[in-house]
Structure 1
Amino acid sequence: MGGLVLREAWLARTKEDILEPERAIVDPHFHFFVENEIFPHYQLADLQRDATGHNVQQVVFMECEEGYRKDGPEHLRPIGESAWVLDLAKEAEQAPPGSFRISGMIGDGQLYNGALAAETLDAHLEASPIFRGVRDMGLWDASPEVDNADPPTNMNFYRESSFRAGFAELAKRGLVFDAHQYHSQLPSVAELARAFDETPIIVNHLGSPLGAGPYAGRHDEIFPEWQKNVSEVASCPNTFMKLGGLAMPWCGFGLEARENPPSSDEFVATYARYYDHALQVFGPDRCMFESNFPVDKLSLSYDVLWNGFKKIAAAYSEDEKEALFRGTATRVYRLEAL
């Protein structure tokens, strides 16, 4: 991918008034990047600046291999991220009234270590009172043109016995699992949900329909398979869907390549069918809008993104909107209601 750059001047070409500025929002998926050599650096002050306008009250940090310990046992190095984010959460508490709080975080559980994952999870819990669960990415595709996660070496990462042995430790501690894989791997997420029906599983980024490499330009062809696989996951009552993430450049929709960034109307026109299907099969009480910032910021601004979400939700009842923008995330991640 190479080093990615946030183009503030380009993003500023599209400006919109904030829709429903009073609507309370929990953003359940964002990252801070400090040491990363691929993703643009993005820190607390950056998110605070981007979130100004929409009524973002709480946010949930998503693991991104930042702040790891530099030494010690490999399976305990991710604990550094939990401690680092807790420090940032304390810093966020000192912000002026009206600013968001970092109320939860998802760490790296290294569940593929099997029973040893119990030590990792316990160390996360000891390091941070806002730790809520883990994400072990299963992203894998056979094409060398598609970026895969590490350590998966095949598309069956979530089916492997060592991973499942580690996964079994989550329910014992009341922790959740964020699943990040390509749409072609969603059946393995459904199998995981059926095998561990006491563990909430939150699917990231609308199931990540492939759109890069050999899949570029094939969205219409791939959509029915994506629909089928998303519906299979939705049949498991312990699963939830994060609505967002498709503005990442490698999803192949090309928003980042436009002369001007998209408006919220253009955002809705591009992605509506994905949101509509997910909402149909999961229902608003099992869905939550997510920013995936700053990664999606490569394609559009925070203001435009959440305006787009508000337009997608326009036809839903007030109770359903409350679930989509705040309630589902608050419940699933066990956040303190504000």
Structure 2
Amino acid sequence: MQIVHAPHLPIRQDWLALREEPVLEPELPIVDAHHHLWDRQTGRYLAEEFGKDVGGGHRIVSTVYVQCRSMLRQDGPEAMKPVGEVEFANGIAAMFASGAYGPARCCEAIVGGADLTLGKKLDAVLDAMVQVSGGRLRGIRNPLAWHESRDVVSSPVAPPRDLMRSDAFRQGVSTLARHGLTLDAWVYHTQLDELYELAMHAPDVTIVIDHFGGPLGVGPLGVGPLGVGPYANEGAQVRAPWRRSLERLASLPNTRMKLGGAGMKVFGFEFAAAALPPSSEDLAAAWRPCFETCVELFGAKRCMFESNFPVDKGMFSYGVLWNAFKRLASAMSADEKASLFSGTAASTYRLQSQGDTA
């Protein structure tokens, strides 16, 4: 069991069970573009647990596993330890590919965690990851979310300040292009201009922006709980600079946007404090400003829905989450829905198992 001190909300299965909904549009194919798996002192979320969520009624055809420092190698060079996570995710992918856990091809794409500041050593690490990935390695993510306030925390690992502007990191990102790999980036809205500079520096690398681009403290009516530091009650002031920075990023053809992740405390939504879990109507109403801004700026063909489970499971269930996404996209065309729910993720991460998606 891995000991990780993460700032995530606890998962309360009995509380989540208080809210059940019928599945909306059950035949709509879905690629879950961002999830994690782990076995930590705070709980286990592996094939069995994820399989139950994926098999809950929505038509999940494929998923993308994203780096979270699970199952790092115990021995060997430090630079090679993250190879163990890719090997682990590939093993989970093989379990789902057998059909024993249902029809979904979970972990069909893998985003690993190679240290991009390694310089010349990076190629060897990426080659090793490709070898153990079963052909599923599609991208790399490093911890990037940084803020000067100690109250703004969303990850168990804090990166150095201004990492995206370092020559070593930029060299590593450029190396990804030679290997045909994307860069996933979880950053706060205060870092989006740095991410823009990085995306400009590496035009041949697809930059996938995680979790709505990290607008801090934008909970309902701008009211945020503990965990968003200086952004509690400042949601209205956050939205304008967040939008301006996203507009610059959206002008670059090598950027993509993931829609989700708002179950983390830093977003400021307080659903976990209620007696009942939120409904899909509650979530859709709360997230609509973020959703509409991102789709307006990037377009549906460059946006993709993500669960960010099990991180976000502390605030709502898997079934309710995808119902909320379906409510958000209810007015969109069939082609736009196909992009948001499966097509963008499939093209970005080069997936094969898309069902009958457009």
| TM-score for both structures, normalised by structure 2 | 0.90
The answer to whether residue 161 in structure 2 is matched with residue 132 in structure 1 is: no
Tell me if structure 2 keeps the 8 A contact 1:262–1:300: yes
Distance (whole Å) between structure 2 residues aligned to residue 147 and residue 99 of structure 1: 36
The answer to whether residue 286 in structure 2 is matched with residue 270 in structure 1 is: yes
Task: Give the deviation of 1:98 after TM superposition.
Answer: 4.7
Tell me if structure 1 keeps the 8 A contact 2:9–2:311: no
Tell me if structure 1 keeps the 8 A contact 2:154–2:266: no
Q: Alpha-carbon deviations, 1:205-237, whole Å to 9, x = none?
A: 001112212212211121111111111111111
Number of the residue aligned with 2:19: 14
Q: 1:23 to 1:2 in 2, by over 3 A?
A: closer
Task: Give the deviation of 1:290 after TM superposition.
Answer: 0.3
Tell me if structure 2 keeps the 8 A contact 1:3–1:40: no
Q: 1:2 to 1:177 in 2, by over 3 A?
A: closer
Distance (whole Å) between structure 2 residues aligned to residue 301 and residue 185 of structure 1: 30
Number of the residue aligned with 1:326: 342
The answer to whether residue 105 in structure 2 is matched with residue 101 in structure 1 is: yes
Q: Give the residue type in structure 2 aligned to 1:322.
A: A
The answer to whether residue 107 in structure 2 is matched with residue 91 in structure 1 is: no
Tell me if structure 2 keeps the 8 A contact 1:249–1:298: no
Number of the residue aligned with 2:331: 315
Distance (whole Å) between structure 1 residues aligned to residue 8 and residue 183 of structure 2: 29
The answer to whether residue 69 in structure 2 is matched with residue 69 in structure 1 is: no
Q: What are the residue-to-residue correspondences of 1:1-338 with 2, within 5 Å? A: 4-34=9-39, 36-37=40-41, 40-51=43-54, 52-96=56-100, 98-102=102-106, 103-128=108-133, 129-147=135-153, 150=157, 152-154=159-161, 156-211=162-217, 212-338=228-354
Q: Give the residue type in structure 1 aligned to 2:32.
A: D
Which is worse superposed, 96-105 or 119-128?
96-105
Q: Give the residue type in structure 1 aligned to 2:37.
A: F
Where do 5+ consecutive residues of structure 1 fail to align? Answer: none
Distance (whole Å) between structure 1 residues aligned to residue 347 and residue 81 of structure 2: 29
Task: Give the deviation of 1:312 after TM superposition.
Answer: 0.7
Distance (whole Å) between structure 2 residues aligned to residue 2 and residue 131 of structure 1: 28
Distance (whole Å) between structure 1 residues aligned to residue 274 and residue 237 of structure 2: 23
Q: Give the residue type in structure 2 aligned to 1:161.
A: D
Q: Give the residue type in structure 2 aligned to 1:222.
A: V
Distance (whole Å) between structure 1 residues aligned to residue 298 and residue 195 of structure 2: 15
Q: Percent identity?
A: 39
Q: 1:57 to 1:111 in 2, by over 3 A?
A: same
Q: In structure 2, the residue corresponding to 1:57 is in which secondary structure?
A: strand
Tell me if structure 2 keeps the 8 A contact 1:135–1:178: yes
Distance (whole Å) between structure 2 residues aligned to residue 63 and residue 9 of structure 1: 28
Which is worse superposed, 213-222 or 12-21?
213-222
> How many residues align structurally?
335
| TM-score for both structures, normalised by structure 1 | 0.95
Q: 1:96 to 1:71 in 2, by over 3 A?
A: closer
Task: Give the deviation of 1:100 after TM superposition.
Answer: 1.0
Tell me if structure 1 keeps the 8 A contact 2:170–2:201: no
Distance (whole Å) between structure 1 residues aligned to residue 15 and residue 91 of structure 2: 32
Q: Alpha-carbon deviations, 1:110-132, whole Å to 9, x = none?
A: 00222322222111111111111
Q: Alpha-carbon deviations, 1:251-299, whole Å to 9, x = none?
A: 2111111111111111011110000000000000000000001111110
Q: Give the residue type in structure 2 aligned to 1:177.
A: L
